[in-house]
Structure 1
Amino acid sequence: MPDLILHHYPMSPFAEKARLMLGFKGLAWKSVFIPSVMPKPDVVALTGGYRRTPLLQIGADIYCDTALIATVLEHLKPEPVLFPQHLKGVTRIVAQWADSSLFWAAMGHTLGPKGAAAMFGTQPPEVGQAFAADRSAMRTGMTSLRAGDAASAYRSYLRRLAHMLHEQPFLFGDAPCIVDFAAYHPLWFTRVVNPAMAGILDATPGVLAWMDRMASLGHGQPAKFTSTEAIAVAAAAVPAPLADEAFQDDHGIALGSRVTVAAESFGTETTEGTLIAATRTHYTLERTDDRAGHLHVHFPRIGYVLKEVRA
C-alpha cells in the first residue's frame, strides 16, 4: 500500500467524507492540515490552481474531488466495498445528489445569517469576514439558496433519508456504501461544526442514529505530516504509470494538448497542464512545479470543464 497523504482541515465537510472513507477502509494515512481560506501556496504548488478541499496525494500523483478519491481508495483496497456491484449505477447517482443538492441545502441552513453568527460570533470579527469573503469568491456566478428556502429543502431531504433508513441500518442496506459517506458529511457539518443549527435534525431520530453508526467507523490511522514534507515527497517521486484505458475524446482536444481543467461551479480556479489521459471517468494533466517537481493531477470528468489553451 503506497503512502496516502490527505490535505485537509478539520471543519471541512468534504474532508470529513474522505476521512471517514479512510476509516471505513481501515487505512493508515498522513494528515496535512491546510488553510481553510486562500492563499494556499502549498496546495497550489501541488495542483497548479485547484484549491478545493480535500486533496489526496500519492507520491507525485494528486487526486482532486472526493468522487475521484473514493474511486482511488476502492482500487487500492477493494474490501469493504464503497460501490456494491449490483448497485453501482444507482449509488453513484444518489451520491452525486448528496454531494450537490443535499450539500447546498445543508450549507444554506447551517451557514445562513443565524448560523454564521453562531459559528463565528465568539471569534475575532476578521475571522468570519475572511471566511465569508473567501466563500463568496468561490461562489461567483452561482445562485445561492436563501436560508429559509435551504431549510425547507433540508427538512424534506432529511425525511427522505429517514424513509430510506426505516428498515435498514444504512441507506442501501446492511453495510455503508458511497451514498452513506456522501449524505453524511453535510449533516455532520450541521451537527458537529455548527451545533447551534442542529435542531433541524431532531425531527428525524432515525437519521441521528444512522449518523452515530457512521461516526463509529472512525478515521483510520492518521499520522501528522506537514505540507513541506508532502511537497518534498512529491518532488522526490515519479508519477505512477497511467493505466491502459481508452482515450475518450468528447471535445476534439488531442492528447498532448495544453489544456485547463476547472470545476463547473464553486471554486472555479483553473489548473493548466498537458492533457495525458482522458478516460471514460477522469482527466489527467501533467505539469511541473518549481518546488513539487513533475506531477500528474487527476480530476473526475463529471463536474469539471476541460478547455484547450490556444496561443
Structure 2
Amino acid sequence: MTDLILHHYPESPFSEKVRLMLGAKKLAWKSVHVPRIQPKPDVVALTGGYRRTPFLQVGADIYCDTALIADVLEHVQPDPALYPLPLKGVTRIFAQWADSTLFWAAMAYSIQPKSAAAMFPDEATAQAFLVDRKAMRTNMTQLRAADATSAYRSYLRRVAHMADEHDFLFGAEPCIADFAAYHPLWYTRRRAPVMAGILQATPSLLEWMDRIEAIGHGVSDTLSAEDAIQVAAQAQPLAAGQNLLVDSAFQDDHGIPLGSRVAITAESFGAEPTEGELVAATRTHYSLARTDDRAGAVHVHFPRIGYVLRKADGT
C-alpha cells in the first residue's frame, strides 16, 4: 500500500483525533503541515476546494473528514478495532455527537478573549484566525460563551460517568467514541490551558484523558506539501471497489447518475464546494474524479453524512 499521508497542523483538534487513531493502530505515516487559515493553494490542489483540516492522502486518493478517515484506517488495520462489533452502532452514533455537539460547545467555551494570548503569538494572528473561522461558519449559529459554558459542563459530567465505569468510554479498550470525545477536551486542556479549570470537576475524565494521551501518535516522517502533490501526480487514483473504502455499490438517492458533473459541500462548517465527476455514490460515501494542473488526476472522497451532493449547475 502507498504511504498514508496526513495533511494537518499541530494545533488542530480533529487532527489530534486522527493522530491518536494512527497511534492506536501502530501505523506509520507521513506528516504534511498545512496553514491554519486561507490561502491554502497546496491543499486545494489536492482537494479541489475542501479546506477543512485534516485530510488523508493515499497516492492519488484524497479522503476528507475524520469520520471517513476512520473508516479508511479501520480497513488498513482492523486490529485494534475502532468499531467493536457488539457496540458498532452505538459507538458511531456517540462519535457523531462528540464530533458535532460536544466539539462546538468546547470550541465556543475554549476560544475566548482571555485564552487568545496562549493560542496566538499576537493580536493580528488571533484576529486573522477568528475572521477565517467566521467565514467558514456561514451556515451555522454559534453558541454564546455563557451558553457554551453551561452546555460544556453538563457534557463533561455525562462523559465522566462513562469514564467512571471503565478505563475507556465503552470498555477496557479505546474505540472511535474515545477519540471523538477526546479531541475537543484536548483542545481545552492543551491549547487553552487558562480555560482548563472546567475539567477539574471531573477527575475521572482527566484520568481517562491521560490514558488516551499515552497512546501517542505512532511513527511519522515529515513530508513537504510539494512532495505530497508530486506523490499524487505520479500515481493513479484507484477505481471504486479497489480503494480503501470497502463498499462500491451505487446508491442513488438524488437522481444524479454516475459520470455527472457535481459539487459536494459540507452541510455547515466549511462549505467551500469541490467539483468533479461523480464516480461513486455508495451507502457511505461519495467519490469525485477531478484533474489539477499540479496534482494530476485524483479522486476526492467524502462521507455521505454531513455533506450535500448537487449537480454542478446547482440543481
Fold match by TM threshold 0.5: yes
Give the TM-score of the pair, scaled to structure 1.
Answer: 0.97
1:252 corresponds to? 255
The aligned counterpart of 1:82 is 82
Q: Partner of 1:3 in structure 2?
A: 3
1:307 pairs with 2:310:
yes
Equivalent position to 2:204, from 203, 206, 209: 206
Q: Which residue type is aligned with residue 290 of structure 1?
A: D
Distance 1:103 1:115 in 2: 17
Structure 1 residue 246: Cα displacement:
1.2
Give 5+ residue unaligned stretches, structure 1: none
Match of 1:39 in 2: 39
Contact 2:118 2:191 survives alignment (8 Å) = no
- Quote how far apart the aligned CAs of 1:166 are: 1.3
Structure-2-length-normalised TM-score: 0.96
Which residue type is aligned with residue 305 of structure 2?
Answer: I
Task: List gaps (5 residues or longer) in structure 2.
Answer: 242-246
Q: What letter matches 1:14 in structure 2?
A: F
Q: Is the 8 A contact 1:20 1:181 kept in 2?
A: yes
Match of 1:71 in 2: 71
Map 1:217-232 to 2 at 5 A.
217-232=215-230
Q: Which residue of 2 aligns with 1:261?
A: 264
Report the secondary structure of 1:220's partner residue.
coil
Alignment of 1:1-311 (within 5 A): 1-120=1-120, 123-243=121-241, 245-310=248-313
Counterpart Cα distance in 2 of 1:119 and 1:80: 34
Percent identity between matched residues is 69
Q: Matches of 1:67 and 1:119 in 2, distance apart?
A: 26
Displaced runs of 4+ in structure 1, greater than 6 A?
Answer: none
CA shift for structure 1 position 237 = 0.2
| Partners of 1:78 and 1:25 in 2: CA distance | 8
- 8 Å CA contact 2:106, 2:148 repeated in 1: yes
Give the Cα separation in 2 of the matches to 1:93 and 1:167.
19
Root mean square deviation, CA, Å:
1.1
Matches of 1:236 and 1:118, distance apart in 2: 41
SS in 2 for 1:287: strand
